[in-house]
Structure 1
Amino acid sequence: MKINPVVLIVSSAFGDGHAKTAQALQQSFLARGVEQVFIVDLFAEVHPFLNAVSRTFYLKSTAYAPGLYGMLYDMTSRMKPGQPLSRFLHSMGKRKVEEVLNRLKPDVIIHTFPYLAASELSEKVGMQVPIFTVLTDYVLHGRWIHPSTWKYFAPSDSVKEALLASGVPPQAITVSGIPIREAFQKIPDRAELLRKHGLNASRRYILLSAGAYGVLGNVQRIIRTILKQSEFDVIVLCGNNHKLRLNLERRHQWNDRVHIQGYTDQIHELMSLSSGLLTKAGAITLTEAFSQSLPVIVYRPLPGQEKGNARSLSGQKAIYTAYNEKQLADYLHQLQIKNGQEEVQLSMHALSRKESSQVIVSEVLDALEAAFVPQTVHR
């Protein structure tokens, strides 16, 4: 293997999961002594205006027109790499991508977001840089697939089966799980964390996460259901939605059962203090909960990849999915009495691969070592 190889991880600010996955991989590379690890939001760098418009559309549509986003997602989910739409999406900004690659000179490229312009470029110019893809959802979308990809790291056996059905050869797939940060592998001191977060050891808590951008709908109604239908107190994470946070703080300023926070990078601590997580169906947050064996209720999953995640994981009995307040109340009751959670915990354990980052980094470094072995010349 080349000494101190240059690793390029292609990420994105569409949601929080792609960046978290990239950071987890970066931590593992650094732990293995690989120092030149660059996380680049490639689409934002080569198309800043289009990226801003697309990101705004994504956030607004999931909040105000989820059906439109879901329709577009479903329309493109089965597209093939060679189809015109796929080639167009992966070719946008290709010239600027080439400039970025010439500047960084990566020895390996890892995608945690399906903007595969580097893959498209490699196919055109015969670039020999190994390219890997780490899928960050529990459902497969056609945008992740490209013939120049050396290896796909799948989150689950079900996604592996979908890749195989799409024509990806079995030797190009490793079921690694989704990488999460090292913080989720540590066993915290519960008493110390309760003091740190100002919580009561005699109370039980539901962690309600509205997502990184606070787009979970009907948060106030969900809080009311939790308070009315269970004995849980609720910790509410509003993400970067400052308007939501201020509104909830005003409503609940005198209620000692409701604890309001904004965005936090300490969700691992709050998960360890909670009896359950109530959230949207973002794959990274769900994977983080699985690592803690924390039961999850997904409430009214958004169309698109989140609906796919919820459907897949509910089918594997790894999460509960509530589509109305009655179902939500029923699942809260199950969490409260800890009824029948053994099957769910077994499923969570099967999906939680805490060594995911290390597995991926090891395979990437092994591939790099093989790529740099001098070829024997036969005369």
Structure 2
Amino acid sequence: MKPYILICTEEWAGSGHQMAALSLQQAFQDKAPEANVRVVGGLETVSPILRSLSRIVYYNSLRYTPALWQRIYDNGNSLALILQKPLAVSLSKRLYDKLIRTGPDVVIATHAYCLSALAEAKRKLAKPFRLGCVVTDFHVNRFWVHPAVDFYLVAHEQVADQLVAQFHIDPEKICSFGIPIRPAFMTARLRPNRDWRKQLGLNPDRFTVLLTGGEGKCSNFEPVLARLLRFQTPLQIIAITGKNARLLAQLQKTMEKSRSAVGHAVRILGFEEAIWEWMGAADVIVTKPGGLTCSEALAMGKPLILYQPLPGQEKKNSAFLRACGVAEEAQSIEQIASILGGWQAERERWQSVAERTAKLGRADSAYQAAEEILTKIM
């Protein structure tokens, strides 16, 4: 009997949760082609109205009341109680009727919102499925934790240690394989950046900066690009805006208006499926510290400049990556320019950071997770 794996995600709170789910789906299909692997949006399936409301509240909190969101995140118990009690009970019946009744062998959550509701639905079954969660940041909060969870997939051993020390999770339930990223990164990371630049029609010898991670409503890389265009030493700049059409138009307008771009080579792109190619071409990646984007950059061995981390998980991600010596945080555009100038002038220092980054990267994270889970159900 072929295994049935259900991956529950949320796309409204940033694309990283969905990309982790799709990465796992691909790894499962590569490792066990006979398996039925389905990716679904939790709130999109059971309550589109609540999905829209949650998106509005989340992004407005980040934009207009960041200090409040930081307090909510730091005090995860209050949010966990909401997710584990009233919301879990109200959503679990609809989850059961629309998703769980079909009898999955494993259910994996890549976002915490519906985790407790899935646990409640699991409780109703005579033959419960195995419930897992993928923590998509370099830090874990209380709302990721539930006694019904059978296994946790986490970004690093330090996150595993936190689960054990702070939440008393059995170490046997924790796998420190890294945040799941697409298997293509396993081979992409082996090619030198000069090869990627030649393939993409870029100057193979020019110091190359990639701006990415601009999909969220709170991202604004337009002034960053404007400042880099005034950089004294010629740069090769790649800006990728994903599905953020507004940001793409802004960057294109900045290029049209700029009179100081002489000597710089600039490529402005929207959504790029094969993001590993452009990461491979870069010397440095300037981004928001989302867990998925940073995991991809680590897999490619690229030093990071983390620009204006948002409250909550981004602040925690930035602190972790800086402590590992693979990233610098910039609160201002001038700080970005200063860090870039230092790395460009002192290539030995940049090389040292790049080597630490490559060691920290987990390009095979999705495959390792898929293999571990499949051994438990096949």
TM-score (norm 2): 0.88
Letter in 1 for 2:86: F
Q: What SS does the aligned partner of 2:230 have?
A: helix
Contact 1:227 1:233 in 2 (8 A): no
Aligned partners of 2:213 and 2:369: how far apart in 1? 30
Aligned AA (1:161):
D
Q: Deviations over 1:9-64 (max 9, x none)?
A: 11110211111111111111111224310001112111111101212333344345
Change (3 A) 1:49 1:215: same
What are the equivalent positions in structure 2 for 1:257-268 lying under 5 Å apart? 257-268=265-276
Counterpart of 1:373 in structure 2 is: none
After TM superposition, list the pairs within 5 Å mapping 1:1-379 onto structure 2: 3-13=1-11, 14-32=13-31, 33-75=33-75, 77-79=76-78, 83=81, 86-114=84-112, 115-116=114-115, 117-123=117-123, 125=125, 127-165=127-165, 166-187=167-188, 193-194=196-197, 197-213=200-216, 215-217=218-220, 219-229=221-231, 230-253=233-256, 255=261, 257-336=265-344, 337-369=346-378
- Relative to structure 1, the CA distance from residue 189 to residue 104 in structure 2 (aligned partners, 3 Å threshold; closer, same or farther) is farther
Secondary structure in 2 aligned to 1:301? coil
Q: Distance in 1 between matches of 2:193 and 2:157?
A: 34
SS at match of 1:228: coil
Cα shift at 1:150: 0.8
Task: Report Cα offsets for 1:329-359 as digits up to 9, x if no partner.
Answer: 2211232132424553344234322221222
* SS in structure 1 of the partner of residue 39 of structure 2: strand
**1:346–1:200: structure 2 CA closer, same or farther, 3 Å change rule?**
closer
Which residue identity is paired with 1:18? H
Q: Secondary structure at the match of 2:19?
A: helix
Q: Is the 8 A contact 2:72 2:78 kept in 1?
A: no
Residue type at the aligned position of 1:66: P
Q: Is the 1:213–1:240 Cα contact (8 Å) retained in structure 2? A: no
Question: Contact 2:279 / 2:285 at 8 angstroms: preserved in 1?
Answer: yes
Q: Distance in 1 between matches of 2:21 and 2:89?
A: 22
In 2 relative to 1, CA 102–240 (structure 1 residues): closer, same or farther, beyond 3 Å?
A: closer
Task: Name the CA distance, whole Å, in 2 between partners of 1:318 and 1:364.
Answer: 30
- 1:196 is displaced (CA, Å) by 5.8
Q: Percent identity?
A: 29
Equivalent in the alignment of 1:374 = none
- Give the Å deviation of 1:190: 6.2
Per mean C-alpha deviation after superposition, the further-off stretch among 196-205 and 245-254 is 196-205
Across the aligned residues of Structure 1 and Structure 2, the Cα RMSD in angstroms comes to 2.4
Judged with a 3 Å threshold, the aligned counterparts in structure 2 of structure 1 residues 127 and 59 are, in CA distance, closer, same or farther, namely farther
Aligned residue pairs, count: 364
Distance apart, 1:102 and its partner CA: 4.3
> 1:273 Cα deviation (Å)?
0.9
Q: 1:214 to 1:199 in 2, by over 3 A?
A: farther
Aligned partners of 1:8 and 1:37 also within 8 Å: yes
Give the unaligned 5+ runs of structure 2.
none
- Give the CA deviation at 1:126: 5.6
CA distance in structure 2 between the aligned counterparts of 1:58 and 1:210, rounded to whole angstroms: 18
- Which letter does structure 2 place at the counterpart of 1:40? V
How many Å separate the matches in 2 of 1:295 and 1:180? Answer: 18
